[in-house]
Amino acid sequence: MTTDNSSYTKIARNTESFSDTYQYKNTNTSVMVDVTNTSNDKVKFVVTGTNNVVLTDGNSTQNQTVVTFLRLGDT
């Protein structure tokens, strides 16, 4: 996340591993953020893996890689 639209800090992390016998893995990560300035407060997502075996899937009819933003109210 960034609050100055420039330098990012990690606010959530999820690490998963699996063996060659499993072809699919489901994982979830949650974080709550108090956004005070929508012009400068931004998030970015990074997906990495070893040996180029990470895929993020989805299409227009199925949510397979999903991010949900929910506004709870003013602070």
Predicted local distance difference test score (pLDDT) of residue 36? 87
What pLDDT tens digit does each residue of the chain (75 aa) get? Answer: 899 888 999 998 887 776 666 667 777 888 898 888 888 899 888 877 776 667 777 788 888 888 888 888 887
Predicted local distance difference test score (pLDDT) of residue 66? 83
User: Look-up: residue for tokens 């929910």?
Assistant: 70
3-state secondary structure 16-64: CCCCCCCCCCCCCCCCCCCCCCCCCCECCCCCCCCCCCCCCCCCCCCCC
User: What CA–CA distance (Å, rounded) separates 71 from 75?
Assistant: 11
